[in-house]
């Protein structure tokens, strides 16, 4: 990055709920302080100006669903130094991916009468289409984590999120273990750093931050089956944010 020039950042969304942008905005004054240090190239929540041609960092939220989403994503890649996946939809596929595990054509016909002109691709993370430099996980993202990693990215340094399970965060909070209580918690195999808001609310982890690197999900799966869960119930949880195909790139051997 040339000296004496403010870095140019953009926050862009494809198809999603836009909750990650809301999470960022909810940093309030702290986010506005970051904004002072950069030039905003595009952030439709705050301005209605023509977008700037190139970005140092572009944060992309949402899943590529429509043809236009995919064109936009590729175009953003060409115009940006760092492309960052913001949240579960961009980095995993998110809830829109549930249809991948169903009869997606039937789902389309159920919702729409005129289906010819509506795109219905399998939902893939944005890394399927373009090179992604960094992923900020979560549904929604943890705004503190966003602040931390975005400061690093804006300085031109790729940050790191430690490979620790959600259980690590949960223990720091001294929560009771939901898994030990017999609940279907995916905490042991999911990337932590979220401060465990779900288990802290007695809501078992359902994997919105994606699996730990090279994790073997089989032990947890066996444990849940032993606790009395049907395989279908376990699969449904893993499908919720689109991680089933991440933890089982090959169809799993019957356990």
Partner 1 sequence: MHIKIDHIAKIEGHAGFTADIVNGQVKKARVDIQEGARLLEGILRDRSIFEVSQISARICGVCPVVHNLTSLKALEKALNIEVSERTILLRKLMMMGQIINSHALHLFFFSLSDFFGGEDDLDLIKKYPKRASDALSLRGFGNKLIEVIGGRSIHPLTPTVGGFLKMPDKKKLGEIFEKCGEAEKSAQNLASLFLGLKYPQFVRAASYVSLNHLKEYAFYGDLVKISGEEKESPAEFLRIVQEYQLQNSVAKHSYYQGKPFMVGALARINNNAKQLNPEAKKRLKSAKINWPSFNPFYNILAQAIELIHCVEEAKKLLHQILLKDLSKNDLAEKETIIGARVKSIKNSVSGAAAIEAPRGTLYYFYEIGEHGKIKNCNIITPTAQNMARLERDLEEYLPMIIGKKATKKQIEEKIKMLIRAYDPCITCATH
What does the binding site for partner 1 look like in residue numbers (CB under 8 A)? 13-23, 25-26, 28-29, 32, 35, 40, 44-49, 63-66, 68-69, 94-96, 98-99, 102, 104, 106-108, 110-114, 117-120, 139-140, 197-198, 200-203, 206, 233, 236-237, 240
Given the structure tokens 């590729």, which residue do they identify? 74
Q: Across the beta sheet with 8-13, what order do the strands follow?
A: 39-43, 8-13, 55-61, 80-86, 134-136
Comparison of 81 and 120: residue with beta carbon closer to partner 1: 120
Strands (E), 141-253: none
Comparison of 57 and 208: residue with beta carbon closer to partner 1: 208
Q: What CA–CA distances, in Å, run from 135 to 94, 131, 214, 216?
A: 13, 11, 16, 21
Kindly state the smallest distance separating residue 12's Cβ from partner 1, in Å: 10
Comparison of 50 and 251: residue with beta carbon closer to partner 1: 50
Comparison of 216 and 230: residue with beta carbon closer to partner 1: 230
Give the Cα separation of 52 and 10 in Å (integer): 9
Q: 10 Å Cβ neighbour count for 167? A: 20
Kindly state the smallest distance separating residue 95's Cβ from partner 1, in Å: 5
Kindly state the smallest distance separating residue 20's Cβ from partner 1, in Å: 7
Kindly state the smallest distance separating residue 157's Cβ from partner 1, in Å: 26
Which secondary-structure segment (H or E) carries 52?
A: none
Comparison of 95 and 220: residue with beta carbon closer to partner 1: 95
3-class SS at 187?
helix
Residue 51 · residue 42 · CB < 8 Å: yes
Kindly state the smallest distance separating residue 178's Cβ from partner 1, in Å: 10
Which secondary-structure segment (H or E) carries 224?
A: helix 218-226
């Amino acid at each position: 990055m040339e000296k004496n020039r403010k870095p140019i950042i953009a926050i862009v969304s494809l198809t999603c709920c836009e909750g990650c942008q809301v999470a960022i905005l909810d940093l309030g004054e702290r986010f506005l302080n970051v904004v002072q240090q950069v030039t905003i190239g595009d952030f439709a929540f705050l301005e209605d100006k023509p977008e700037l041609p190139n970005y140092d960092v572009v944060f992309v939220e949402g899943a590529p669903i429509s043809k236009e989403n995919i064109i936009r994503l590729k175009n953003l890649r060409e115009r940006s130094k760092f492309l960052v996946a913001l949240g579960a939809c961009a980095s995993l596929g998110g809830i829109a991916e549930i249809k991948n595990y169903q009869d997606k054509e039937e789902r389309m016909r159920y919702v729409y009468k005129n289906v010819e002109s509506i795109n219905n691709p399998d939902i893939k993370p944005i890394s399927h289409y373009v090179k992604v430099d960094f992923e900020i996980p979560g549904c929604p993202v943890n705004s503190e984590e966003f602040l931390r990693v975005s400061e690093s990215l804006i300085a031109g340094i790729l940050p790191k999120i430690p490979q620790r399970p959600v259980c690590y965060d949960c223990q720091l909070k001294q929560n009771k273990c939901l898994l030990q209580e017999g609940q279907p918690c995916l905490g042991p195999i999911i990337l932590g750093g979220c401060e465990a808001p779900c288990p802290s609310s007695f809501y078992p982890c359902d994997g919105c931050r994606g699996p730990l690197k090279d994790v073997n999900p089989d032990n947890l799966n066996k444990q849940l089956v032993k606790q009395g869960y049907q395989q279908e119930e376990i699969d449904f949880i893993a499908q919720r944010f689109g991680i089933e195909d991440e933890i089982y790139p090959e169809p799993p051997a019957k356990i």
